[in-house]
Structure 1
Amino acid sequence: MSFKSLGLSESLVKAVSEQGYDTPTPIQSKAIPPVLKGKDVLASAQTGTGKTAGFTLPLLDILSQTPPLRNRPVRALILTPTRELAAQVHQNVKDYSKYVDLRSTVIFGGVNQKSQVSTLRNGVDILIATPGRLLDLNNQGLLSLSKVEILVLDEADRMLDMGFLRDIKKIMGLIPKQRQTLLFSATFSREIRKLANEFLTNPVSVESTPENTTVEAIEQQVYRVAKEKKTDLLIKLITEGNWDQVLVFARTKHGANKLAKKLEAAKIGAAAIHGNKSQGARTKALAGFKSGSVKVLVATDIASRGLDIPLLPHVVNFELPNISEDYVHRIGRTGRAGASGLAVSLVSADETVFLRDIEKLIGSKIPMDILEGFEPDPNASTKPFNPQQRGKKPRNTSNSRPSSGNKPRTTRSNSSKSRR
């Protein structure tokens, strides 16, 4: 199957080819045809499956079939939960619209709005935005959504997790009821289906992988460890494994900052990225991570989806998430586009219940080991760190193949077989 066989125009096929893509991914093959037919689409696609092109390509095809409207009002609106994802989607739109007469821009908070407003005034056909900045500019009378023909909700489940449901409903009231709506989500949860029933009309449902499954190419490993020994164990794994690019997940912003400083003190280039960081600091940290000047990026769940980090070889859960689905999203940052990857979780006693729930979700036991010198505390409580919050969704939060030789040599403790 080719992109041309899906019904895309020659101009778009040429642009896609220049980006190095010749064969559509499963989600692209399933989503593009119904979108081109004008259908509403409810799509489930994990990170790294090519979902962005699954909606940007047919969207561009539809808009390019008619001449631009006078003054170029916004005809397509793409909503994303985070600044990083918005920027990534905009880059995709720019790459694929190279040979069609369409203008696009991106707006998000954390930066001065002046340049964003200036671009909007010159007219854009496609607007990529985060909900907060979009409503802010609308309330100031600086943009109109009255001509929107196509609405895309990208990472819709994440937007709900972050408490954007009220904003989404407000935005729905600003755009025409007669429109095409595309909703992309990592899962078809009850909340997502409810949202789809409210805002989509007879949608075509498509899935690229079974719900809540992990990428088969990802090797998963758990190390049982005492909480106070986690940092030293992480340093050991990175240095002895000679890991050059590692995305580490911490549970809190303070924890991310603290861990990054400890890694720096151990002569490991590290930077923290989370919602309290300015957009400039986040952009700088991500750029350093991509260039190699920053070896370890310590992040809160804002980075579990949306960051454009191709072929990431290592992901570490310094702390397990209390929402099992977030584990799947986190480790989905590696093993992308068919590449292999390693996802390591450092699990202390109070995370035992979280590990059990994760294994239940993915339907398999994750290999477990204990390294000599980093044994778990046999007297530590297995009570979850905050049982009242366990299982609840947080609201208003901030939002090349690795070689087999990259894995660190481990020494299995005599007690490793009996501990779980």
Structure 2
Amino acid sequence: MSFNSLGLSDALLKAVSKQGYETPSPIQQKAIPAVLEGRDVLASAQTGTGKTAGFTLPLLHILLQKQTSHKRPIRALILTPTRELAAQVYENVKSYSEFTDLRSLVIFGGVNQKPQVASLNRGVDILVATPGRLLDLQNQGVISLKQIEILVLDEADRMLDMGFLRDIERIMALMPAKRQNLLFSATFSKDIKKLANGILRKPVLVEATPENSTVDAITQKVYRVAKGKKTDLIIKLILDGNWNQVLVFTRTKHGANKLCKKMISSGITAAAIHGNKSQGARTKALAGFKSSKISVLVATDIAARGLDIPLLPHVINFELPNVSEDYVHRIGRTGRAGASGEAISLVSADETTFLRDIEKLLGERIPVTILEGFEPDPNASTKPIKQGQGRNQQRSSKKGTSNSRKSIDNTSRKSNRSNDSRSNNRRPKSRRD
């Protein structure tokens, strides 16, 4: 199948060709025809599967068929959980609409709102937004959603994890009841299915890959190591391997900062990205990493969600996540577009339960290696990390999973909330955008 067979306009096909794409990915093959038919869509797709084009291309095609000449109202809204993802989706929208006269804009917190307001006043067809800044500007009377034709919820599972449900409900109430709805999520959890039932009308179900499956091209490896030797081990692996593009995950902002400083003192160019970093610092760190000026990017789960880094060869879990699904999200940053990738996890005794849960989810055992001089502590307890230790919570039951996810980098969310919100004091205290 080629893009030419999907029924897209010539202007969009020209943009796709310019990007160097010839064959649509599985998610695009399934989602694009359904969206073009005007159907609501519930899609399960990991980041890196081509899902953004899966909703962007047909969305643009539909808007092109019914263009208006007067002042442009917002006709399509794409909601994302994080600033980084919003920026990346917007870049895709701009690229694919290059040969049309459709106007698009991205808005998110942490930056001056004046340029965003000026663009809105000039008229925008497609708006990409995080919930917080969208509601802030709507409360100021700057944004109207009364003529929305298409709503896209991207990475809906993460939006729920981050506490955006109430915001989503408020935003939905501001739009026409009659509209097309597209919901994209990495997993089909009970919460996602409940959300979908309240939003979608007779949706087409699209699954690009089996739920929570890992990419075959990714080589997974576990290093069993004493907790106090993790920093020395990760520095050794990076230096000995001469790795120049490594994404490292930690559980907390404090841990990310501490590890980053240790790496820099060892001669490794590194930067940390998390919620306490300003938007400018985060953007600069990501740009430096993509251009290989920075070899190692140390990130928390929330800050790294949605990062699109082509051909990333190495992902290292400095600490395992206490929610198994997050492991899949992490390692899915590598092994994309047919390229091989390596996912390494440094596992101490108190993370044994987390490792078993991950292997149970994957349905396979991950090979274990022990390096001389970095052996695990035979006397260390294998009892999982408890609440209050490492600023984290133990995943103790299915009921506690959602709360555990929200606890990760919670301080980060509070910090960013103060930057993102200028006037809306009614937003729930657990949110971040």
TM category (shorter chain) comes to: over 0.9
**1:141 Cα deviation (Å)?**
0.9
Question: 1:32 — aligned with what?
Answer: 32
Question: 1:61 — aligned with what?
Answer: 61
CA deviation profile, 1:321-346 (whole Å, cap 9, x unmatched): 00000000000000011111000000
Within-5 A mapping of 1:82-231:
82-231=82-231
Question: 1:251 — aligned with what?
Answer: 251
3-state DSSP class of the match of 1:152? strand
Alpha carbons 1:105, 1:128 under 8 Å: kept: yes
In the alignment, the residues of structure 2 paired with residue 212 and residue 160 of structure 1 have an alpha-carbon distance, to the nearest angstrom, of 17
How many residues get paired? 399
In the alignment, the residues of structure 2 paired with residue 180 and residue 9 of structure 1 have an alpha-carbon distance, to the nearest angstrom, of 20
Is residue 2:406 matched to residue 1:395? Answer: yes
Which residue identity is paired with 1:122?
R
3-state DSSP class of the match of 1:337? coil
Alpha carbons 1:109, 1:133 under 8 Å: kept: yes
Alpha carbons 1:68, 1:102 under 8 Å: kept: no
Question: 1:311 — aligned with what?
Answer: 311
In the alignment, the residues of structure 1 paired with residue 303 and residue 107 of structure 2 have an alpha-carbon distance, to the nearest angstrom, of 19
In the alignment, the residues of structure 1 paired with residue 141 and residue 13 of structure 2 have an alpha-carbon distance, to the nearest angstrom, of 37
Question: 2:76 — aligned with what?
Answer: 76
Which residue identity is paired with 2:160?
L
3-state DSSP class of the match of 1:374? coil
In the alignment, the residues of structure 2 paired with residue 69 and residue 390 of structure 1 have an alpha-carbon distance, to the nearest angstrom, of 54
The range that moved more, 69-78 or 129-138, is: 69-78
In the alignment, the residues of structure 2 paired with residue 70 and residue 186 of structure 1 have an alpha-carbon distance, to the nearest angstrom, of 38
3-state DSSP class of the match of 2:132? helix
Within-5 A mapping of 1:224-303:
224-303=224-303
3-state DSSP class of the match of 1:277? coil
In the alignment, the residues of structure 2 paired with residue 282 and residue 228 of structure 1 have an alpha-carbon distance, to the nearest angstrom, of 28
Which residue identity is paired with 2:274?
H
Alpha carbons 2:78, 2:152 under 8 Å: kept: yes
The range that moved more, 49-58 or 383-392, is: 383-392
Which residue identity is paired with 1:143?
I
In the alignment, the residues of structure 2 paired with residue 180 and residue 33 of structure 1 have an alpha-carbon distance, to the nearest angstrom, of 14
3-state DSSP class of the match of 1:151? strand
3-state DSSP class of the match of 1:382? coil
Which residue identity is paired with 2:263?
L
3-state DSSP class of the match of 1:357? helix
**1:4 Cα deviation (Å)?**
1.5
Alpha carbons 1:12, 1:99 under 8 Å: kept: yes
**1:360 Cα deviation (Å)?**
0.3
The range that moved more, 250-259 or 300-309, is: 300-309
Alpha carbons 1:15, 1:96 under 8 Å: kept: yes
3-state DSSP class of the match of 1:78? strand
In the alignment, the residues of structure 2 paired with residue 230 and residue 327 of structure 1 have an alpha-carbon distance, to the nearest angstrom, of 18
In the superposition, the TM-score normalised over structure 2's length comes to: 0.91
In the alignment, the residues of structure 2 paired with residue 133 and residue 47 of structure 1 have an alpha-carbon distance, to the nearest angstrom, of 23
In the alignment, the residues of structure 2 paired with residue 324 and residue 242 of structure 1 have an alpha-carbon distance, to the nearest angstrom, of 30
Which residue identity is paired with 1:317?
N
Alpha carbons 2:109, 2:133 under 8 Å: kept: yes
3-state DSSP class of the match of 2:209? coil
Alpha carbons 2:311, 2:335 under 8 Å: kept: yes
Identity across the alignment (%): 75
Alpha carbons 2:384, 2:394 under 8 Å: kept: no
Alpha carbons 2:247, 2:316 under 8 Å: kept: yes
In the alignment, the residues of structure 2 paired with residue 174 and residue 67 of structure 1 have an alpha-carbon distance, to the nearest angstrom, of 22
Alpha carbons 1:45, 1:187 under 8 Å: kept: yes
Question: 2:42 — aligned with what?
Answer: 42
**1:66 Cα deviation (Å)?**
1.4
In the alignment, the residues of structure 1 paired with residue 284 and residue 349 of structure 2 have an alpha-carbon distance, to the nearest angstrom, of 35
In the alignment, the residues of structure 2 paired with residue 170 and residue 386 of structure 1 have an alpha-carbon distance, to the nearest angstrom, of 35
Alpha carbons 1:305, 1:333 under 8 Å: kept: no
Question: 1:6 — aligned with what?
Answer: 6
In the alignment, the residues of structure 1 paired with residue 99 and residue 283 of structure 2 have an alpha-carbon distance, to the nearest angstrom, of 28
Alpha carbons 1:226, 1:375 under 8 Å: kept: yes
CA RMSD of aligned residues (A): 1.1
In the alignment, the residues of structure 2 paired with residue 211 and residue 185 of structure 1 have an alpha-carbon distance, to the nearest angstrom, of 10
Which residue identity is paired with 1:161?
D
3-state DSSP class of the match of 2:276? coil
In the alignment, the residues of structure 1 paired with residue 67 and residue 330 of structure 2 have an alpha-carbon distance, to the nearest angstrom, of 42
In the alignment, the residues of structure 2 paired with residue 304 and residue 270 of structure 1 have an alpha-carbon distance, to the nearest angstrom, of 15
In the alignment, the residues of structure 2 paired with residue 118 and residue 84 of structure 1 have an alpha-carbon distance, to the nearest angstrom, of 22
Which residue identity is paired with 1:105?
L
CA deviation profile, 1:49-97 (whole Å, cap 9, x unmatched): 1000000000000000112352101000000000000000000000000
In the alignment, the residues of structure 2 paired with residue 107 and residue 310 of structure 1 have an alpha-carbon distance, to the nearest angstrom, of 24
Is residue 2:369 matched to residue 1:358? Answer: no
Alpha carbons 2:27, 2:51 under 8 Å: kept: yes
Which residue identity is paired with 1:345?
S
CA deviation profile, 1:295-325 (whole Å, cap 9, x unmatched): 0000000244311211100000000000000
3-state DSSP class of the match of 2:380? coil
